[in-house]
A and B are shown apart, each in its own frame.
Chain A
Amino acid sequence: MAYFAEHNPHTSPESHGATALALEGIWRVVVLNDPVNLMSYVVMVFKKVFGFDETTARRHMLEVHEQGRSVVWSGLREKAEAYAFTLQQWHLTAVLEPDEAH
């Protein structure tokens, strides 16, 4: 334990376990508004990344625009991270939030 702590000052088996536990459950991918990206661009990205149809993509885009955020996907952390990464590649701002209902 002392050896492990000495060579890994930022982690310990306990904290790693706690982190893993904290990342379990259902996570939401939330897209945040920005004043730069065009509405048509955001719609296209939602269609491309999530496979939304035009109506669903527009609904989420309008939520982002009018309410500042939209939950675009929820599920396991690993896949949520993958979606967030892809959104980042398209320069949209996304955060992950635990879904407290699950």
Chain B
Amino acid sequence: MKRIEVKLSLPVVAPLLDVIKSLSDTMGRTLSAPLTIADLDPEFREDWTAELLEAQTSDVGVLLALFDDEFFSEGVIALDEKNAEPVVRACAAVRLRLRENYLKGIADEALESSDLELEELAEPVRKAFMCYLFLATLQELIIQHLDSTILEG
């Protein structure tokens, strides 16, 4: 099984997990990317939404499970063929939610380029933005090293 281990800075990453955990409570209630398809049968829409919410919640659970005892003792997380796909999706869902809840005041261009002065941001926004960048880094790692396992899966 293809697997990569990533050594993270415990003092930097551990506080960001609180942000993800606080958001994860709401991930089962609303979709991170709102359903934008018109003309759907209402019953069908309801079923779709329920299924998408279940998948979203499950993916975020897999993301949070990365940060286990090994992470808190060694700072290491392991990405493999089994968790790569749910984790890369969960990162997208949480990043969208971070933008919705904390980063709306930041212009799209600045958010896309990540060209921001961290010191100028208020504490909750700064922490959310750090989390936003961290999850993007996780996504990049997965796409760079485990892309083929996702495409073939």
Which residues of A are interface residues toward B (Cβ below 8 A)?
Answer: 10, 19, 22-23, 32, 34-38, 40-41, 44, 47-48, 81, 84-85, 88-96
Contact = CB atoms under 8 A, between A and B. Distances in A.
Contacts of B151: 44, 47-48
A90 B108 contact: no
A14 to B, nearest CB: 16
Interface residues of B, number: 32
Contacts, number: 72
Contacts of A41: 88, 92, 139, 143
A85 B42 CA distance: 15
B33 to A, nearest CB: 4
- Is chain A's interface secondary structure helix, strand, loop, or mixed overall? mixed
A94 B140 contact: no
Given A36-B96, A36-B99, A91 B33 contact: yes
22 contacts: A22-B39, A32-B36, A34-B96, A36-B95, A36-B111, A37-B92, A37-B96, A38-B143, A40-B139, A41-B92, A41-B139, A44-B143, A48-B151, A81-B37, A84-B37, A88-B33, A88-B35, A88-B48, A92-B33, A93-B36, A95-B36, A95-B37
B78 interface: no
Nearest to A98: B39
B126 interface: no
A92 B93 CA distance: 10
A84 B31 CA distance: 14
Contacts of B34: 93
